[in-house]
Amino acid sequence: MFELDDETLQMYIEESLDHLGDIESDLLTIEEAGENIDLDLVNNVFRAAHSVKGGAGFMGLTTIKDLAHHLENVLGLIRNRELIPDSERISVLLKGFDQLENLLKNIETSNDVDVSHHISALESITKATVPEERKEMISKIVDIVLSDGRIFPQVSLFEIEQYKSEGKNLFLVEYDLINDIQRKEKNPIEVLNSLQKTGTIIDSRIDFDSVGTLTENDVPSRIPFQVLFASIIEYDMTETLFDIKKQYIHAISDNMIVPTSVKNPAEEPSIMKPLKKQPAAQVMVETQKPIKTASIEKQKPKQVATPAVKEVKKIEENEEDNLSTAEKDATVNAKMQSSLRVNVGLLDTLMNLAGELVLSRNQLLQGINSSNQKATELSSQRIDMITSELQEAIMRTRMQPIANILNKFTRIVRDLSHQLGKTIDLIIEGKDVELDKTILESINDPLTHLIRNSIDHGIETPMEREQMGKHPTGKIILKAFHDAGQVNLVISDDGKGLNPAKIANAAVEKNLISEQQLTEMSDKQKMELIFLPGFSTAEAVTDVSGRGVGMDVVVTNISNLGGIIELDSVTGAGTTIQIKLPLTLAIIPSQITSVGNERYAVPQVNLNELLRIPAAQVKEKIEKVGDAAVVRLRGELLPLLNLADMLGIKKTYSDPVITEDLPERRQNIADRRSKHHILSEDGIIMDSSDNEAEFPQRGQEDRRYHASSAINIAVVSAGAFKYGLVVDKLHDSEEIVVKPVGRHLKKCTAYAGATIMGDGKVALILDISNLAQMAELSAVSEASQMVREAEAAAEAAKDKAALLTFKNSESEYFAAPLNIVERIERIESSTIEQIGNNRVVQYRGGSLPLYELSQVAEFKPLAPKDQHEVIVFKIKDRELGLLVTTPIDALEVTLDIDESTLKQPAISGSMIINKHTTLLVDIFEMVKILNPGWFKEEAKVAAEMAESGEKIILFAEDSAFFRNQVKTFMEDDGFKVIEAEDGLIAWELLKERVDEIDIVITDLEMPNMDGFELTKRIKSDPKYSHLTVIALTSLASEAHIEKGRKVGIDEYEIKLDREKLMKVIRQKLNLST
């Protein structure tokens, strides 16, 4: 007895969905290619539509068959290059395939779904393309009448003609479901598939008309399974090919094709529809019905149906989006329980492992029974190993490539960008990354949301983009990759980014944060406000440049999966969102820590590193900022949270004497641990007579001498927060199984769940991001940021300079200011030319004069070598080279210069750099000595100045070294200099002698009154505001320059750049150079 069971249907659905799987991207590629049709791709899509159709006919899935058929028609035209796939047509095709997929997923109701608007859209494409004379064929349906009078109804004439025009022969092959298929242990789908290899299946059906009913015959002799088949194979060959008797293969000639009276195939009742749910016995009864209905409906002319369909179409197009999402949701839910394809190899592995597990269990039992400890140990080790492997293998069965969900974003981007009039390229990377099935399904929605946001709010319109100087085509990059046992998903766009100020204002308006909080927030924190629940409701968000529609939902979804989300955006340049997900949900690797007697698990996802601060270093490493403790980690300040304080647990320490954990007495972590501290703390302890009685041995054997008094920190991060979690002990990293906690504990947000440890006790799993929120960590991180700024300012206050260090002879160390160095070159000794007393080398088309330090002062001459290093300086627009010995190094140092001890010509002073006494070379002086001609002009100006009355400079500088240096070269150039040791003195001098002073030059960082304050006073007093103020600084940062501009500083100059400074002074005083 034939039965068209669930299995066959299931197989058909799975295969069809498989076929449809890649269609979307194929179609999009076809669209992109436009006129340059890639036949392979089109064929691919064509075949997919075709196979779906082929099976559908035989399954009685008329709606699917019909839709697939019309899709196929359009694709056929594209394949024959009769139709150019423009985006409108592709849209119709895409929608058609979407519908097809939906029908397949809801197969039971598929025949009741109205697909007429898809079909008419497809038909109108076909009709518009084909020539007049063929037009009527498109919707024309014919029957094929066999010689014995039986008919194969409802075949599209257009299709038949198409195949004929391709020179194919048409056959009607009649398999017998009982003898040819069932008895040969085949499956109808398999038969169809094998036929596909040699030709094309136009249609297939089961001919129930000729079966008869149960009442007539107990067992029908044959159930014909008819396949209408087009192939290039000749009739003679078919017998062997189809493996059935020739009498059941009918070659179809033109006279067998007769027009049908019923034109609309959708009206035809589904013969097989009830089959799926009905037991086989009922099928036979059921088969009578369709014939009756069919005959009734044959009277119904098609014209009645068509207009109605058209009206519906319009309405439905508007609703289509809503409809299809609703449908999709339904299918997603249904899919949750659906089957999963597992690699057979993997199944074999599982089987093997299961076998091994059984063997090991037997060994273990034997070992236990015979009390053989060694055997027991061995088998427990084996079981341990097998369990891990088994776990991994089972996990792998759940792993699915992320491509499954990423691929569909191409479509979303395409559709949405069309709709919004934007052009967007989507780049997908890392499609092979695999994720647990449940996670994969659950990130679909959040990802869709983020992508939609990027398209809608992120990327600008092409016009806006051009105005901003960007490429008109926006770019969205979707990237998946593995990192540290997690899956990372990055969605970045080059759109307009987020505007922190606007977001912050919106958040204040909605009362999500207070003005007060706002002032303490960094830009990044402001941007992250979009994650707040309640932020994203209003339409105003779109105006606010923002993303944010339902961002809180995205965050919730991601964190439900144990993932974290990070946001990074540069206003005007784009937004990047990074999602980190665990590979799987049920088992997570965690760091086990403990506080007091309890263990706590920190999920590895959140863990950055472990830090142990030895007792001896606690005092210097841990600082207090306001009330918060921070630790300095690689130059960054990391706020510390004490888990015990957070959870209100009494901290303990293990007492080395009584080996019991005792309550910690330390008040806060920063209170440690010089000897002085120990004594005073101990003093307090000793005061209590109870303690003395209890611990008589206490004294020198203090716990603080033990390693256990070090501080253990787990450095964790959650979103924007990164902090150190102070715990009592750090244990191993373990894989833990997450178990839910009871309802009474739901409101304890500090925990993400609980797990059972190896010893059977329960440990809580910490929720790192909630802990951060509980501690209001933003305040802490703000504080540490302030500290950082203060430090930066303190750094700047010192006179720092960038120096180039080098050697003359092996034991003589020198340095020169880096900013006057042009280049460092290596030259061959042989290329040095000696001309009189001067040495030159041909260099960049000119002669570079070479000097060495022994020419100006009492230093050793350089040893002769094959190659020499030359530092090229630029002075007065001329270059000169100084021959030196390696190593040459650039470094930034705090200047602390001794001007007297080693003073000599061309040396401005000495200081200690890297434990060597290093002499600072004054290149100007050196050039002046060696080549006085270069400075003729200055001498002239100086002379002129002296004639026309001296110009007077007020010069404020606290460092004596710089004061002397700068003063000297200003005086050399004919200026008179009034010195001041700080801003305040300068201010007093200025008040006294304002009429004489022409220009003010000031250092910025000075005691008593700094350069900023001095400038501010000068500029805000009309008596002095005419004066030009030039600031001298060692390192000018942007922030500094900005600050200086605000108070009115006219120019910034670098302290040791003599030439530039003098030039600017002359400019400001309108002196010729």
Partner 1 sequence: MAKQNIDAFSEDLEFSTFYVGGALCGINILNIQEINKHFEITKVPQASEYIEGILNLRGRIVTIIDLGKKLGLAPVTKNKDNRNIIVNSEDEHIGLLIDSISDVVSAKKDSIESSPSNIGGAKGKYFKGVLKTEKHLIGILDIDEVLKE
Site residues (vs partner 1, CB under 8 A): 597-598, 647-649, 739-748, 750-751, 754, 756, 760-764
User: Per the structure block, which two tokens stand in for 168?
Assistant: 């194919």
For residue 1034, give the nearest of 1009, 1061, 1063 by alpha carbon. Answer: 1061
Query: What minimum distance in Å lies between the beta carbon of 387 and partner 1?
Result: 16
DSSP lists the bridge partners of residue 409 as none
Say if strands 399-401 and 257-259 run parallel, antiparallel, or are unpaired: unpaired
Query: What minimum distance in Å lies between the beta carbon of 762 and partner 1?
Result: 4
Sequential DSSP letters for 799-846: -EEEEEEEESSTT-EEEEEGGGEEEEEEEEGGGEEEETTEEEEEETTE
* Dihedral-angle region of residue 915 (phi above 0 means left; psi in -120 to 50 means alpha; beta otherwise): left
Residue 219 near residue 179 (C-beta atoms within 8 A): no
| C-alpha to C-alpha distance for 368 and 424, rounded to whole angstroms | 67
| Type of residue numbered 834 | Q
Query: What minimum distance in Å lies between the beta carbon of 726 and partner 1?
Result: 15
| C-alpha to C-alpha distance for 228 and 157, rounded to whole angstroms | 13
DSSP lists the bridge partners of residue 152 as 144
Neighbouring CB atoms inside 10 A of 267's CB total 16
Q: Which CB, 381 or 749, lies closer to partner 1? A: 749
Q: Which CB, 658 or 745, lies closer to partner 1? A: 745
Query: What minimum distance in Å lies between the beta carbon of 780 and partner 1?
Result: 20
Secondary structure of 364-417 in the HEC alphabet?
HHHHHHCCCHHHHHHHHHHHHHHHHHHHHHHHHHHEEECHHHHHHHHHHHHHHH
Q: Which CB, 4 or 765, lies closer to partner 1? A: 765
Q: Which CB, 751 or 851, lies closer to partner 1? A: 751
Q: Which CB, 644 or 952, lies closer to partner 1? A: 644
Query: What minimum distance in Å lies between the beta carbon of 638 and partner 1?
Result: 23
| C-alpha to C-alpha distance for 784 and 628, rounded to whole angstroms | 9
Residue 491 near residue 447 (C-beta atoms within 8 A): yes
Neighbouring CB atoms inside 10 A of 635's CB total 7
Neighbouring CB atoms inside 10 A of 662's CB total 16
For residue 72, give the nearest of 163, 152, 207 by alpha carbon. Answer: 163
Sequence-distant (6+) residues with CB within 8 A of 1056 are 801, 817, 819, 820, 965
Q: Which CB, 11 or 750, lies closer to partner 1? A: 750
> How far is the CA of 858 from the CAs of 264, 321, 815, in angstroms?
110, 89, 16
Query: What minimum distance in Å lies between the beta carbon of 214 and partner 1?
Result: 48
Say whether the peptide bond before residue 887 is cis (omega within 30 degrees of 0).
yes
Q: Which CB, 230 or 714, lies closer to partner 1? A: 714
Residue 948 near residue 898 (C-beta atoms within 8 A): no
Q: Which CB, 1 or 745, lies closer to partner 1? A: 745
| C-alpha to C-alpha distance for 242 and 716, rounded to whole angstroms | 67
Q: Is the sign of the CA dihedral 294, 296, 298, 302 positive or negative?
A: negative
Instruction: Quote the Cα angle for 110-114-120, to 5°.
Output: 125
H-helix or E-strand spanning residue 278: none
Q: Which CB, 497 or 596, lies closer to partner 1? A: 596
| C-alpha to C-alpha distance for 193 and 201, rounded to whole angstroms | 9
Query: What minimum distance in Å lies between the beta carbon of 69 and partner 1?
Result: 51
Q: Which CB, 749 or 914, lies closer to partner 1? A: 749
Query: What minimum distance in Å lies between the beta carbon of 388 and partner 1?
Result: 19
> How far is the CA of 652 from the CAs of 337, 599, 662, in angstroms?
49, 13, 5
Query: What minimum distance in Å lies between the beta carbon of 766 and partner 1?
Result: 11
Q: Which CB, 649 or 787, lies closer to partner 1? A: 649
| C-alpha to C-alpha distance for 196 and 200, rounded to whole angstroms | 6
Query: What minimum distance in Å lies between the beta carbon of 611 and partner 1?
Result: 23
Query: What minimum distance in Å lies between the beta carbon of 746 and partner 1?
Result: 8
Query: What minimum distance in Å lies between the beta carbon of 407 and partner 1?
Result: 39
Q: Which CB, 364 or 766, lies closer to partner 1? A: 766
Q: Which CB, 12 or 600, lies closer to partner 1? A: 600
Q: Which CB, 459 or 763, lies closer to partner 1? A: 763
| C-alpha to C-alpha distance for 688 and 694, rounded to whole angstroms | 10
Query: What minimum distance in Å lies between the beta carbon of 734 and partner 1?
Result: 15
Q: Which CB, 631 or 766, lies closer to partner 1? A: 766
In angstroms and rounded to an integer, the radius of gyration of the C-alpha atoms of the chain is 43
For residue 451, give the nearest of 300, 575, 312, 273 by alpha carbon. Answer: 575
Q: Which CB, 463 or 745, lies closer to partner 1? A: 745
Sequential DSSP letters for 730-773: EEEEEEEE-BPPPGGGTT-TTEEEEEE-TTS-EEEEE-HHHHHH
Q: Which CB, 357 or 741, lies closer to partner 1? A: 741
| Type of residue numbered 679 | L
Query: What minimum distance in Å lies between the beta carbon of 643 and partner 1?
Result: 9
Q: Which CB, 676 or 743, lies closer to partner 1? A: 743
Query: What minimum distance in Å lies between the beta carbon of 627 and partner 1?
Result: 20
Query: What minimum distance in Å lies between the beta carbon of 755 and partner 1?
Result: 8
φ/ψ of 615, rounded to 5, equals: -50, -40
Query: What minimum distance in Å lies between the beta carbon of 592 and partner 1?
Result: 13
Query: What minimum distance in Å lies between the beta carbon of 745 and partner 1?
Result: 6
